[in-house]
Structure 1
């Protein structure tokens, strides 16, 4: 069985960077695989030369007997906007070194949950695209 770090490394290098979407079923639990394939495929269509660098991976071992492991990754992402993204037609512009953080729950050598944070505002700025309007909240 793959360790959590190896699962996340393969996700980045082979699927996100390499475009091997057929590996999603090996890296994600069945309940998450279809959704992961859809968003990764759509992002790679918008940015076919996308490249993520792993800056750091930190793994918390599974508590005894649970088979669950948590991996936190810090990444940078770059790519050229050649397909529609978030309703914006291709600009041909490139974003560089956008910061991203991912938290992955690994069970039985597969991703069962994931949460990501990314600097979308900077990505929009690099692509010279408008930022979404601020949302006013009231208490």
Structure 2
């Protein structure tokens, strides 16, 4: 596949599955042998658990949205830089085991996805979880020197 086609698959994956919460698109866009290298305990490990993950994240952050900033592709890999915005409205079992704070987050993320057979087959991510925890009030933010 071309790098343009691979970028289109990744764009559709985030727009349809995450932003539109269309879990049925997972069957079309995620490879049956999907591997997720995200170390978060609640991260999806296969297409079926991804459907549950979308449900779980939507309960915790009903307005979550990945704004894609950049898509860069080479070979079968696509790198996406994005910003996740959301409001903490519910529990996130296995990750944020706390009552909803009602606070908003703005988290920078970089994802690397490998495309195989026109589907997302592998995923790595780097996120700014520290800033997210500070925004939710779980970790104090450092005081700014004046």
Q: TM-score range by the shorter chain?
A: 0.7 to 0.9
Provide the residue aligned with 2:48 in structure 1: 34
The answer on 1:72 being equivalent to 2:79 is: yes
1:83 corresponds to: 90
Q: Which residue of 130, 135, 146 maps to 1:121? A: 130
Q: 1:57 & 1:28 partners in 2: Cα distance?
A: 18
Q: Residues 47-73 of structure 1: CA distance to partner in whole angstroms, max 9, x if unpaired?
A: 010011101001112xxxxxxx11011
SS in 1 for 2:25: helix
Quote the residue 1:136 is aligned against.
none
| Structure 1 unaligned spans of 5+ | 62-68, 132-139
Aligned to 1:7: 9
**Aligned with residue 21 of structure 1, among 20, 23, 26:** 23
Which segments of 5 or more consecutive residues in structure 2 lack a partner in the other structure?
34-45, 141-146
Q: Give distance in 2, aligned partners of 1:44 and 1:11.
A: 16
Are 1:111 and 2:120 counterparts? yes
Structure-2 separation of matches of 1:25 and 1:113: 15
2-structure distance, mates of 1:117, 1:88:
23
Q: Give distance in 1, aligned partners of 2:109 and 2:53.
A: 16
Residue of structure 1 equivalent to 2:105: 95
TM-score, with length taken from structure 2: 0.78
Q: CA RMSD in A?
A: 1.7
Q: 1:58-110: per-residue Cα shift (whole Å, max 9, x none)?
A: 1112xxxxxxx1101100010000010221211111112x1101010100100
Q: Secondary structure at the match of 2:52?
A: helix
